[in-house]
Structure 1
Amino acid sequence: MLSYQQWDQIADAYTPLLFILALIALALSTRKNGWRHALQEGLFLLSSLVFVYTLMFADQAWRFWPRFGLDYSTHTAVSLVLVSYLILAYRRMAWAIAASLVLYFMLMLYQQYHSFADIATTVLAVLPVLLLLHRFVFPVAANVRPHPENIM
């Protein structure tokens, strides 16, 4: 069985690994789909990250989560953004990517970084905005692997 510190190292490595994979996916998209498409994907990723950090700062200033005895989970929010992007980029592997996020959430619970309510409320606050960005703000990024007839 792994020690608490070993599990901690695994948890600490998860988000940076997702970030590296997202950058690789973005670079591959640039190569495969062109700069314009990759720029929109990058804007989707960047705007999503700006949103989760803005929400973090707003929570620190106005104490939304603490009012209910909860904690905004930046780890949850950032990993959700990166996993969402990777699912868009690699739809055939969506189940494995999503499973990694669920396992990460379970690890955060096991390590007692956050409660289930912390994670769930953070997901509920972030996911609708990600879906809106995906659907309406950056529609080309929503179709990461477009058919040639869909590209203008």
Structure 2
Amino acid sequence: MSEYEIIDAICDKVNPLLFLLTTGLLINDLYSRTFPKARARIGFLLGGLVLVYGFLYLDNQFLIWASFGGDYSTHTAFAIAMGVSISITTRMTKWIIGALLLYSLVMLYQGYHSILDIVTTSIIVGLPLILVRLLIDSRNLSQGVEQIPDRSY
């Protein structure tokens, strides 16, 4: 097996693992009865999937990325959506950011996408999700409520 094939096999596992982690955290939230965190995670999971596949649909219909020589990166979009949903548990945020950056570098190394593809997809999908997440955090803090509790450890 060549280096390319080994890295390709690893990359094929990233998004399914992120989805399983998100689902596992959601199940844990429900089991431990941390319903505010579960609601937030479900909202980000569903909202993220709507953004990911909504933009994929729009790009397929209107060739948005092709119009400037790019390619919509579904892998990047999905990873960001799962990453934001996972980051409801604030202790994991740094790890998720690191994993997403590493995943992006590997996609560049493998030639799956260009920097333009990854950056534009990250902005269009990630920005709304991150802004809503920051809004939720700031609203919780302004109401004197600590961030969504992390009891998953």
> What is the TM-score with the length of structure 2 in the denominator?
0.83
Report the AA paired with residue 95 of structure 1. Answer: K
1:53-72 CA distance string (max 9 Å, x none): 01110001001110000001
1:76 aligns with 2:80: no
Larger CA deviation: 70-79 vs 28-37: 28-37
Report the AA paired with residue 108 of structure 2. Answer: L
| Matching of residues 82-121 of structure 1 within 5 Å | 82-89=82-89, 91-121=90-120
Decide whether the 8 Å contact of 2:52 with 2:74 is kept in 1: yes
- RMSD, aligned α-carbons: 2.4
Measured in 2, the distance between the counterparts of 1:135 and 1:103 equals 23
Distance 1:115 1:28, change over 3 A: same
1:113-142 CA distance string (max 9 Å, x none): 0001100011111122213443568978xx
Counterpart of 1:8? 8
Larger CA deviation: 128-137 vs 103-112: 128-137
5+ residue gaps, structure 1: 147-152
Measured in 2, the distance between the counterparts of 1:17 and 1:53 equals 19
| Shift in Å, 1:86 | 1.3
Alignment: residue pair count = 144
| Shift in Å, 1:31 | 2.1
Measured in 1, the distance between the counterparts of 2:136 and 2:88 equals 15
Task: Percent identity, please.
Answer: 35
5+ residue gaps, structure 2: 141-146
Measured in 2, the distance between the counterparts of 1:128 and 1:93 equals 19
Measured in 2, the distance between the counterparts of 1:44 and 1:34 equals 16
Report the AA paired with residue 93 of structure 1. Answer: M
| Shift in Å, 1:39 | 3.3
Measured in 1, the distance between the counterparts of 2:120 and 2:40 equals 28
> What is the TM-score with the length of structure 1 in the denominator?
0.83
1:60 aligns with 2:64: no
1:41-88 CA distance string (max 9 Å, x none): 212211211111011100010011100000010100000011111122
